[in-house]
Amino acid sequence: MNNTEDHTEETHEGPIKTPKQLIVTVVLSFIVPVLIIFLLIRLVVSSDIIGAGSDAQTPEAIAMRIQPVAGFELVDANAPKVFKTGQQVYESTCASCHNAGIAGAPKFGDKDAWAPHIAQGYEQMLQIALQGKGAMPPKGGNPNLDDFEVARAVVYMANEAGASFDEPKEPAAEGDAASEQEDSSTSTQAAAAQQPAEPANAQAATQAKPAESAESNSDNAAAETKTNSEPQQTAAAAPAEIDPAGEKLYNTVCLACHAAGVAGAPKLGDKAAWEPLAAKGIDSLVSTVISGKGAMPPKGGAVQASDAEIRAAVQFMVSKSQ
- pLDDT tens per residue, range 192-242: 555 444 444 444 444 444 444 444 455 554 445 444 544 444 433 344 467
Would you say residue 81 has pLDDT above 50? Answer: yes
Domain ranges of the chain: 86-160, 241-319
pLDDT digits (tens, 9 = 90+) for 234-290: 433 344 467 788 888 888 778 777 777 777 788 888 888 888 888 888 888 888 888
**Which DSSP string corresponds to 87-150?**
HHHIIIIIHHHHTTTGGGPPPTT-HHHHHHHHHT-HHHHHHHHHH-BTTBPGGGG-TTS-HHHH
pLDDT score, position 237: 38
pLDDT score, position 219: 53
CA angle 120, 153, 133 (to 5 degrees): 50
Spatial separation of the C-alpha atoms in residues 318 and 320, rounded to whole Å: 5
**Quick check: helix, strand or coil at residue 83?**
coil
pLDDT score, position 240: 44
Would you say residue 9 has pLDDT above 80? Answer: no
Contact between 29 and 36 (Cβ < 8 Å):
no
54-63, 130-139, 144-153: least confidently modelled range: 54-63
Residue 53 pLDDT grade (very low, low, confident, very high; cuts 50, 70, 90): low
Spatial separation of the C-alpha atoms in residues 187 and 303, rounded to whole Å: 56
Contact between 154 and 125 (Cβ < 8 Å):
yes
Q: How far is CA 179 from its chain centroid?
A: 31
241-319: what CATH class?
A: mainly alpha
**This model's pTM is above 0.75:** no
Domains 86-160 and 241-319 share a fold: yes
Cα Rg, the chain, nearest whole Å: 43
Spatial separation of the C-alpha atoms in residues 15 and 304, rounded to whole Å: 82
Q: Read off the amino acid at residue 24.
A: V
Spatial separation of the C-alpha atoms in residues 248 and 270, rounded to whole Å: 20
Sort 314 into a burial class: Cβ within 10 Å, 0-12 / 13-18 / 19+: buried
Q: Mean of the per-residue pLDDT values for the chain?
A: 74
Considering the four listed CATH numbers 3.40.630.30, 1.10.3720.10, 3.40.50.2000, 1.10.760.10, the one that applies to the domain covering 86-160 is: 1.10.760.10
Spatial separation of the C-alpha atoms in residues 266 and 317, rounded to whole Å: 10
